[in-house]
Amino acid sequence: MDKFVIFDLDGTLLDSAVACTNAVNSTREMLNLEPNLTVEFVVKVINDPNSNSLKELFLREEIDESLYQIFIREFMANYEKYAVLYDGVRELLAELKRRNYKIALASNSPEFALEKILNFTQISHFFDCFYGASSQIPAKPDPKMLNLIAQNASKCVFLGDSWKDKLAAQNAQIPYIHVTWGFGSEIEGQICAQNPNAALLEIIKILD
**What's the confidence (pLDDT) of residue 67?**
82
At 26-68, the pLDDT tens digits run 999 999 999 999 999 999 999 999 999 999 999 988 878 888 8
**What's the confidence (pLDDT) of residue 70?**
85
Q: Quick one: average pLDDT of 148-163?
A: 96
Mapped onto helix, strand or coil, the DSSP state of residue 26 is helix
- pLDDT at residue 174 above 90? yes
At 102-127, the pLDDT tens digits run 999 999 999 989 999 999 999 999 99
Q: Quick one: average pLDDT of 63-77?
A: 86
> Mean pLDDT, the chain, as a whole number?
95
Q: How do beta strands 176-179 and 192-193 pair?
A: parallel
What distance in Å separates the CA atoms of residue 140 and residue 12, rounded to the nearest whole number?
15
**What's the confidence (pLDDT) of residue 21?**
96
Element (H, E) at 157: strand 153-160
Query: What backbone torsions phi and psi does residue 33 show, to the nearest 5 degrees?
Result: -110, 155
- pLDDT at residue 202 above 90? yes
